[in-house]
Structure 1
């Protein structure tokens, strides 16, 4: 088995990679009533809403890249996760309340009750999160 272990690797002796600490604490957005809370909280701090389609390959890639943007300095940002397929009514109300056209995936930043930034698809991965702290 020595030669096979060298060729395919001996998993029993391999050290496991340390798990990367996540600084992103998702808050589930599941009700229309939460939008009023988001609007109120946004008077003192920026609130982010990430609209995600669980059936979309682009959305799946973008959410992984978005999570990697978060560092220790971003850990206090409030970030809501909206599964727009399961909560279509909430997604529709987000667009109406914050005057943004629906896109997927989409990042909306709310400050002082209004959308101050929105990005869709791969543009989300270019967001400078530090400016929203």
Structure 2
């Protein structure tokens, strides 16, 4: 199949398929007589794997490691577990950060009973944060 077809089947953009090829995450496809890239089911499976891993938030380096491990089905999954555990820790950190951010926004919003922007607590808090971040 041509690049547009595999992009559509995987839900990736054409540029992303090319990028993954350039990064060595997929093998270079064969070329047609007209120099079109011709992808096969192996490319489709690998690109689907990459897309799913990226959708789950794995970094490109983690995806590279997971692909390397997946290429050796008889290997131990200890390394896969370690990659997953590090990713879970990162997700937990992000969730904690988001919880703090949400609490701040709720607090600012609940303090605001202003009728004009000049009296708005949220705008005031954002302005104060900006001022303190620039020093």
Q: Please give the range of the TM-score, normalised by the shorter of the 2 chains.
A: under 0.3
In the superposition, the TM-score normalised over structure 2's length comes to: 0.21
* Structure with greater Cα Rg: 2
Q: Which has the higher contact order (CA 8 A, sep 6+)?
A: 1
In the superposition, the TM-score normalised over structure 1's length comes to: 0.21
More helix by share: 2
